Structure formats: structure tokens, C-alpha cells
Structure 1
Amino acid sequence: FDHPEIYGEHGAAYEDNATRFIFFNKAAIELARRLTPAPQILHLHDWAAALIPVYIHAHNLPFATVLTIHRLAEQGSFWGLDFALTNLPQRFFSLRGVEFFGRLNFLKAGIVFADRVTSVSEHHKQEILQPEGGYELDVVLRENAHKLSGILHGADYARWDPATDPLLPAHFECEKLWGKMICRDALLANLGLAPAPRGPVFGMVTRVVAEKGFGILTPLFDRLLTDDVRLIILGEGDPAFETALAIAARRYPARFAYRRHFDERLAHLIQAGSDITLIPSRFEPSGLIAMYSLRYGAIPVAHASGGIQEIVQDYDPTLEPSESGYGFLYYDYSSEAFWDSIKRARALFRDRAVWTGLIRRAMEREFSWSAAAQRYEELYRSLVRETEIAA
């Protein structure tokens, strides 16, 4: 479609996305109709494919559909006039169809017409049913709650495992951590940050947008970076936050490195070389970054939202070491609450024996796809049974 990216550039969506993605949905339907053997279920993800259930309903096609919501904030909302491009009957541009406040809304359409809707964790499911986390679609989701379920995603340990990761200068596992120190030193050297004194290295690999918590992180820069720490952020997004990060990196050149353009090797090295991963997201639907951070021994400091609550156990020194947790959570979404959790982690980092125990417990956590796959298989089987009964 003559664009270098898929959805947009520099934080702005392409103006012709309605045309592009309506065509994409039509093309996906045509492909499904021509496949041999024919698929029984089409599993769709987010707004970009969410018109497919509407076409199936409109044309009485023999497919069941599952729609998984990852990012509810991005809904594929376009001018009502763009509905004409869908070639759907006019009756579908209605309250019970694809219309939402006078606009064509892909995601709303998918929620209404899909046979099943899933979110990427049970806590995320509960959040999107509430006005605070529903991005105005909470009413639509509550009306369709009977077909909504939460299934925690799994981690791809074939690509993200420090014991075998080909992008690292050294490998390590929970009982042999020397390789993590090599990765830490390589990370600091690669980014030109001061190697000593050996305070904690904080890392973030994320989109640089308000949703990911930069509104509560940037006010903390001076407090954080005047301490003996290193901070590394990789990601792009909102130009205003990108500018703030670039300014802070120039102000603290020995302690803070910001890289805008994604580099997979650097992303893996940040996970392996960091002592602590910062996850201040207002909403973190699945918490995949926390799964990877735990496996790489980068202890999460995270806002307790979405899948984070199913992945990270808050550290509690009053419990037995084996049960005392492996992360630092905060529940009030504010800079001060975030700072308190950073201070907790910073203080415990000085006790190397306790910190090593946290690393080992974190790395032992298992979030493979096997459990999620079983849940999805059960969902698929129930859909196939319903389809056979209806036939």
C-alpha cells in the first residue's frame, strides 16, 4: 500500500488506513474461502482484522470467529462516510452493528459479531469491563460479557532464554549467573555509560507513549539519575516524550542512554544486562515484557495492572525466602508510588545475597505457551461443537 510502516509513522496513523484495512479484511476472507482444507475457525487480533466477523455474518460464511483484544485503546475508528468502502448493507451501520458515535469502529464491530472474544489475561478482562479501562467500549463489552474470557499469553522461550540466546555475549541460567555480569558490562560499554560504581542498571524496552507510564516516569529523572544508577530506554512513540528522553540523556550522559530506533540485539542485551526492569504502564494487558524480564533476571518494578498481577509477585521480606516474591509492585498510578517502589528495589539491591535469591526465583518462573494453548484449544473445540450442533 505504498507505506514504509503498517499503521503509521511518528505517532500518527496513515490517513488512508480505513481503505487499507477494509481491503485487508476482504482479502483475508477471500483467502479463507479458497483454502483447502477449509478452516473451521478464524482467530483475529485487534482492530485491524475485526471486520472479518461482520463479513462472515453478512454473507453467511461457514466460519466461526475468535477475536483477541490486545490494545483496546486502538479501535480502528474512522469517519462514518468510510462505511461505504466496506460494501456491507446499510443496516450494518447501526447501534447493533459497526457504528459507534457516528463513526465506523472496527473493534466495536468485532466485539459484537465475533463468536468469542478473549483478552490477554484475566485481570485485563476485568479492567476492560470497567469505564476506567474500557476506552468507551466498556458498555459494548459488558453487553457481550457472556462470550468474553481472559487467557494469559505465554512467552516465546525459543527466542527469549538467556541460556541459549544467540544475541548475547554470554549465556547464563539461575544457578550460573556469571554470564549476566558479562552482559551487564557489555551493555554499559556498548552505550558508553560509566561502568562504575556498580549501582543498579534500570532497563526499559517499550513504546514511548503515555500509556506505558512515561507521564509518571519523566518527573522522576532528576531524583533517579542523581543516584548511582544507570538507565537505558529503547523505543519510539510520542515525539514529546522522545524529546524529554533525549534531553535527559544529554544532561546525564554517563548514566542515561536513550535509543529511539528498535534494535533486536540491543533489546535482548538490555534484558540480560539490566538488574531492574521498569514497567510503569497504566495498562499492561498481557505483561509479556515482565515474563521476559523475569527469565533474564531483570527484577520488575511495575504498576499492578492487567497481566502483571498474574506474573509478578511483590517482594515481602516477612515471608519465607522461597515465598517472598520476585518483584516490586505499586497500586496507585502516580509518580510518588512508582518512586517508592524504585526505592524499595534500590535498597534491597545493596544486599547481594537477598538480591541473588530474587534473581533465582524470578528466573525459575515459567510462562510457556502450553497452558495458554490448552485454554485456546478448549475454546476452539467448544466453538466447533456449537457449529456442528447448529448445522
Structure 2
Amino acid sequence: MDIVFAVSELAPHSKTGGLADVAAALPKALAATGLTVRVVTPRYGFITAGEYVGELAVPFGFGVQTAHVFRERRHGVEIFLIDAPAYFQRGRKLYGEPDDPRRFAFFSRAVIELTRWFGKPPDVIHGNDWMTGLIPVYLRTTLRGDPLFARTATITSIHNLAFQGFFDLNDLPYFGLPDDLRQGPDGLEFSGAGSMLKGAILASDALTTVSERYAQEIQTPEYGFRMDGLLRLRRHDLVGILNGVDYDEWNPATDPHIAANYTPEDLGGKRLCKADLLARFGMPVELDRPALVIVSRLSDQKGLDLVRDVAWRILHSGAYFLLLGSGDPRYEVFFQHLRDTAPRRVGVYFGLNEPLAHQMEAGGDMFLMPSAYEPCGLNQIYSLKYGTVPIVRATGGLDDTIQDFDRITGTGNGLKFRAYHANRLMEKIYEGLLLYRQPHVWRMLQQNGMRADFSWARAAWKYRAVYERVCAM
């Protein structure tokens, strides 16, 4: 099968979160199963990668617009970058522009036209989130009679249902879509606006999401963001497949970004990584003092309100607190104030820094991830591999990947609480601090996590099964 994997961000070229890591790792794992996989992504203005291979004519905006196509090859996967300066040269910011709907509607149509440029239609176009949500809509409407795509199936992966791609319905003609998509059973109207994600949910041949638990949660009013009814209608076409991680990139035994490599059998290097991390933040290198770390987008979704509520208690417990991330200014102001108040115990870095993310995973003792909801989450899986004990709330992929530690049986790979409350989070932090003071028990907990296998291989075969099913329809 020929698969086109369309995605709005791709590590290491462009990244705001886990979607970019998935886009870098999953196609590689799919290719290892014998599939032909081409990745298509925007070539934002700061990207210099790729070899120029030609022009692409894209019907859009009441005419035909020209994009330039660049190509590179990695790990048996061809990567095509769509260069359209009017849409993608916006500094280093990927999203958040007033014309985001037009930018990614153009990208969706460009993906389709690029497959025409290949000369052979793909068996499956696999889109990701609202940014590619119009791909199946175009194929079901404007291009419905095009014989080239008669056998092309579509899949959309929902990485975060909260982001729904709202747009002005008056833009439908500008996108090159029929005006009758405004309303009706197949219409894109949602709460007074258009929704690209709604279009993907209605028009895709199959839907996937990034953990089994999240696939169940998004069909409920609590987690469905008002789309739970639509998703229940498509429940037989919705599959939860737990994300994996790329152990070629995230492995303390080989990681080039960290101060010393280490394994479950020899954890000595982790202590050196902790010393290096504390020094990077300009803090006293007191290696017996536990270090709690966070690498996260700073938002309510990630449970940062709970962390804010317990932050002073963390400091009173005697632990270090280190944070890497960016996002909501309320949280940046708070954590900067925390750092200014206790600079010998608190370190903060606001922004994206991939090497530092690796160093945080290697140098930390505990990783806090108390999310209000979490489709899958990758950092808790990275933490397991690096022997940094995750403390998580039981939701979505966090519940699927983390088993609460039982010191009687010695089973479990982390610490997990259920009720969304700061006191429940703090109870688990206190439990972690007590276990940390018992070196033999703590080492057992670390090794349980480090020996777990969340590689992409298993997930890739599950995606392949979905591809085979939609191609047989």
C-alpha cells in the first residue's frame, strides 16, 4: 500500500508538541512494516531542509496558486515540504494567526494536488487533527467525480479534540468547497461557525485517536468538547491506538544530549545527569535532594493549575522544582515569581529547547503530569525510559501507560491519582518523596519503568490493520 501522511508539524523541522514527534516516528515504523509512506508537511519560513523538486499548482482562492515542493529522505520515508510563503512564512509561530483557516485549507488542498503530482493515487491519505481536516471533505465533495481518487481512502487521527479548526462559513467558496456544506446532515456548521475537524469526523473513512482510553472518553460529554454525539455516531469507525515513542531518539543508553549514558542495569550515569541539570539551572548541586521536573505546554489542560496550587508545598518538602515550557502567560508569571522567590531551589526555562528536554528527563527524579485530560502523552513514556518516575492523573493515555506502584508486590511503573484535585496530586508527590528515601525500592520502581516497551512497532501494525480495512471497503 501507498500511504500519504499529512501533518502540520514534523520534528525536528517544526514542533509545538507531541504531534511533531509522532509525525517523525510513526511513518518510519509504518515503512518498516513494508508500506510505502510519504510525509507531507508545510515548509515554514524558518525551515531550510529539502531539495527543490518543482512547482505545484493548487486550485484555491478563486484561482490557481503556485507552491514549491522540496523533498528529503529519512529512515526509508520520503518527506515533501510545501513551500508557500504567503501562508507559511510567519516567523517561528506555527499557529495562532487570524488566517489559520485559510492557511491550512490551502495545505489540505495542496496535499491532494501533490498526490496527483506523484502520478499514482495513494491507497490512503492519513491526516492529523483539524489542520488536515478538509482533505476528506474535498475528496467527498469537490473531487468526488475525479477517477484518480476513486479508490483513495481517508483516515484522520485526532490528537486533541479540543482544537476544532473553526472558520467563517462564508469562506467555503474561497476554499473551493460547495456552499451547501453550510448546513444539513453533512454540513460543517458547528455552534455558528464552520469546523474543519467536524468535516474530518463526518467525511473520513476511519478515525483514530492516540490511546484506547481517550477513544472512549471523547464519546462522553465530559471529554467530548460537544462533539461526543458525532463521535458516538462514528464509534464503529473510531479506533484508539496508543502512541509509541522512538527509542532511537529517546534512550538514555545512547542519547547524545545528556551528560552521561546509563541503563537499567547501571544507573550510575543518571546521577551525573542530575548534577549537570542542576548546574545548567545555576542551582546548588545537592544530589540527594529530589528533583521534580515538568516539560509541558503551560495550559489548564496539562493540570498546571494543580501544580500552581501545590508549588509552595513542594518547596517546603525540600525538593527541587524544574520547569521547561511555554504557553499561558498566567503560568509563566507564576512560575517566574516562584523562581525569583527561591532561586536556589526552582529553575524555569520558557520556550522550546529539545536538548534541554532530554536533559530534564535524564536529570530529574520525578516527572509531574497531572493533566485534566491527556489524549496520549509522550513525556510520561520518555520519563519511564529515563528512570524518572512519572506522577500522573488517571486520564487518557496516562491511564493506559502508567500503573500505580505497589511496594508489596513490586509491580507498577509510576504513581497515579484519579480525582482532579491538588490534594490528591500532593499525596502522590509525598508518596514519591517517601519512596525516594528508600533506595532499593526506588531503584525497583525506576527499573520497572525503564524496562517497559512502548516502541512504535506494535502501534504501526495496528495502523496498518486500519489501512487494510478501509482499503477493502
TM-score normalized by the length of structure 1:
0.95
Partner of 1:171: 261
Q: How does 1:116-131 map to 2 (within 5 A)?
A: 116-131=206-221
Alpha-carbon contact 2:271-2:287 (below 8 Å) kept = no
Q: How does 1:1-150 map to 2 (within 5 A)?
A: 1=87, 2-8=89-95, 13-58=96-141, 59-60=143-144, 61-62=149-150, 63-95=152-184, 96-150=186-240
Gaps of 5+ in 2: 1-86
Alpha-carbon contact 2:325-2:351 (below 8 Å) kept = yes
Q: Displacement, 1:197?
A: 6.4
One-letter identity of the residue aligned with 1:85:
Y
Q: Displacement, 1:80?
A: 2.5
Alpha-carbon contact 1:22-1:85 (below 8 Å) kept = no
1:369 correspondence with 2:421? no
d(CA) in 1 for partners of 2:289, 2:403: 24
Secondary structure of 1:259 counterpart: strand
1:329 correspondence with 2:412? no
Q: Displacement, 1:287?
A: 2.3
- One of 294, 298, 315 as aligned partner of 2:405: 315
How many residues of Structure 1 are paired with residues of Structure 2 in the alignment? 379
Q: Displacement, 1:83?
A: 2.6
Q: How does 1:172-321 map to 2 (within 5 A)?
A: 172-196=262-286, 198-319=288-409, 321=410
One-letter identity of the residue aligned with 1:32:
T
Q: Could you say if the C-alpha distance between residues 381 and 232 of structure 1 is closer, same or farther in structure 2, counting changes exceeding 3 Å?
A: same
d(CA) in 2 for partners of 1:377, 1:279: 30
Q: Displacement, 1:118?
A: 0.4
Alpha-carbon contact 2:274-2:287 (below 8 Å) kept = no
d(CA) in 1 for partners of 2:406, 2:271: 26
Partner of 1:354: 441
Q: Displacement, 1:317?
A: 2.2
d(CA) in 2 for partners of 1:376, 1:369: 10
Alpha-carbon contact 1:314-1:325 (below 8 Å) kept = yes
Q: Displacement, 1:196?
A: 2.1
Partner of 2:9: none
Q: Displacement, 1:26?
A: 1.1
d(CA) in 2 for partners of 1:307, 1:355: 24
Per-residue CA distance 1:28-71 (angstroms, 9 max, x = gap): 11111221332110000000001100000011233200100001
Alpha-carbon contact 2:275-2:287 (below 8 Å) kept = no
Secondary structure of 1:243 counterpart: helix
Q: Displacement, 1:130?
A: 0.5
Alpha-carbon contact 2:172-2:178 (below 8 Å) kept = no
Secondary structure of 2:326 counterpart: coil
Q: Using the TM superposition, name which of 223-232 and 42-51 deviates more.
A: 223-232
Q: Percent identity?
A: 35
- One of 150, 161, 185 as aligned partner of 2:251: 161
Per-residue CA distance 1:145-198 (angstroms, 9 max, x = gap): 121010011111010000000111110000010000000000001111222262
Alpha-carbon contact 2:253-2:261 (below 8 Å) kept = yes
One-letter identity of the residue aligned with 1:278:
L
d(CA) in 2 for partners of 1:176, 1:36: 53
d(CA) in 1 for partners of 2:282, 2:294: 17
Q: More helix by proportion, 1 or 2?
A: 1
Secondary structure of 1:236 counterpart: strand
Partner of 2:15: none
Secondary structure of 2:127 counterpart: strand
Partner of 1:385: 472
One-letter identity of the residue aligned with 2:447:
R
Q: Displacement, 1:100?
A: 0.9
Q: Could you say if the C-alpha distance between residues 379 and 247 of structure 1 is closer, same or farther in structure 2, counting changes exceeding 3 Å?
A: same
Per-residue CA distance 1:308-365 (angstroms, 9 max, x = gap): 112111011232x2xx212110000111111111111111110011001111111000
d(CA) in 2 for partners of 1:144, 1:174: 43
Q: More strand by proportion, 1 or 2?
A: 2
Alpha-carbon contact 2:283-2:343 (below 8 Å) kept = yes
d(CA) in 1 for partners of 2:252, 2:408: 30
Q: Displacement, 1:264?
A: 1.2
Alpha-carbon contact 1:76-1:106 (below 8 Å) kept = yes
